[in-house]
Structure 1
Amino acid sequence: MKKLLERIKLCKLPPPQRRSLPYECYWEDSILTQEQERIFSNQWLGLGRSDRLENPGEYEVFELCGQALVLIRNQDKELRLYANTCRHRGAKLLDGTGQCQAISCPFHGWTYSLDGNLMHAKTMAENPSFDFEEHSLIEYKLKELQGFLFVFLGNKPTDLSKQLGNFSELHQPWSMNELVTTRRATFEVQCNWKAFLDVFNEYYHLNNVHPTSIDNLYNKPEEADKTTGDFASQFGFTAGTGALLEVDQINALPIMENLEAPWSLGARYSWIFPNMTFAASQEAIWVYEASPITSMSCRIRQSICFPKNTTTLPGFKEKSQSYYQRLDDALDEDIVALENQQKGLNKSTSLQGQFSTLMEANVATFSEWYANKII
């Protein structure tokens, strides 16, 4: 482990000399354990967009970093996040998605309000030492910012505004609070969670992995932006919109209102450390959250969003299909490359290549941030 930590220190060198993460960070189980303790339990984690589960009682069940969770909207239309575990003897409470008036355990019938309070536990009122208030569902802190949802899984939540620094200022031109999500998807990829986020944040692979789909749309990016929080961001000009395939540019939807040049002429790729990334283009944003399943596989949640007034335009339903097709096609190409990369990484000796300073700027910034967290 000592030798590995010495190699991780190379990720803290100045950008021209900085090395990529040691290969072990992409397959070693002990590293994933360190990530759970030093990163996932001590950072606000991205949960994608907050505009979901519109009605009281609507819920969705998912796992994040091995924890079974249920996201639900309460009677006051506030989102709440609970451990998907009964406080009696640990049974799973809910599955999938749905809507309920209360959360009832299928094992012994303990029933909780949408605010997580235990309302009914048969025969337990007969026990004078039983306190209903002590048996509420385990709840995790949630916060919303710029239309994004964040959770803190640890015991001592930190300051989200400090974690994100100048994030809101840098992304203000896109009016992200006003965007609505039109499609979501969840899937698994046989690669380390960091590898998935890496590939979304670098231009270096485009002409090899996406030669006929999106490569010709992207010009050489601008220098990475100066950020004061735990995130990286880089803007680049595009020929047309990067949100569509080269062959579908005719289906481009209107540019966002009040989005001016240069931002209306390209796309900004941002990575909120550790686990959420997105691209903000001229007329849409698309978001990915990555969560480890094992050290060599991950679960991905994808969202795509448009301005509300765009979604009401005639022909939006038809044209939006071209945007979804672009996501699907580019993703299919990326997954082939990622799963091939994982096969090369597995059990390999750490060689640690250097970054292309401009073309892999966000990935290099994450590498330094990660090294500071792990060491």
Structure 2
Amino acid sequence: MRTTDRRVKVAGAGAVASLAVAGLLGGCAQTSAKLSAHDAVENLKKAKAASFTLHIADPDGELQKSSTSASDKRDAQIVADSSLVVTVDPEGDQTLGQAGTATSAPSASTDPAKSLAHSGTFAMVWKHGGKDVATLRSIEGVLYAKLDPAAYQEATGTALPLDAESAAMFSSVVEGIKAGKWLRLDLTSVYSKLQAAGLNKSSPLGTTQPDPAVARRLASELLGAASVATTVSKDGGTTKVDWSADVRKTLDAWLEILQKPEYAKLFGAASSSITAQKSTIDQLPGTPVTGTLTVKDKHLTQATLDLSSVVALSKDPESIAHVKTSKLVVDIDDSPAAVTAPSADDVVQLDQLVDLALGGLKQFGSAAAPSSGAVTD
């Protein structure tokens, strides 16, 4: 089998497994009254913020061994040396549990601008070799992005073309990246400008967002439908929960939920594509996806996913033969350091570029519009 084909199959299996893992906490919640890990789940719900650090534990280099092309081996090495840190901090004094309920106000709005303004804080950092390569922060609807060109080149072996010729309008952005500054974009302002220009109908945000209450009910149903079995063991103050998810059964249950009229409309035309995946799901093997949860002093500190169980879904014999012990590891911190906005003198504003783009779109629209004058012979 060609490497590219195998990568597609394994990646597809990974996506399926990720869906199953998304239902893991829901599965634990179903049996939490019987688990000593119950307090850990409750403590995570009560947290005002949490960070999740994802990395691959692959001490034997299994991912590289299962790759045949040079590019695949390079990608595997980048992944092995990297981590992704995701931080979530709901608006105001909300806890994670409150932010996940259907009645969370004022963020529960169908108006995109209001939702963005009350969206809390989300941050994501790509780290490689202990250095921050790329950082993305969204704070109450304002987006900040930062890229370290030297760290990027060290991680990928490829230099960014920052010295190549570019339009004058991009010079401040290029120079800002070189100087280690943040790029700033107020998404709430962008939406307002789109609306004022009459372009909001084609905006990714649309004129309204799906009702948050409906979206949260959907999430709750999906979590509750996850088919997850658990086994609990204790060692002093540490509790280990071994979990096993039936991917095929879970996805079948999820498809039934997604076909409900109140949820299908959330996805619009894409809903038919989602439900069409039934045949793909039926082809999955009956092997479970497995992993562990670790609880220390009543706090959930780590979750793992056995990559061998993911690779088994691909049915690729070469990958199955090589991947035996590597894991996806998620380290969890329910009291992370606060994520703050960069200082004003450390940012490059992108508003001017947005204005130029909107001006161009309006001019294009005017030129394309039919004349209102009468047509004469």
- The normalised TM-score by structure 1 is 0.23
Larger Rg: 2
- Structure number having the greater helix percentage: 2
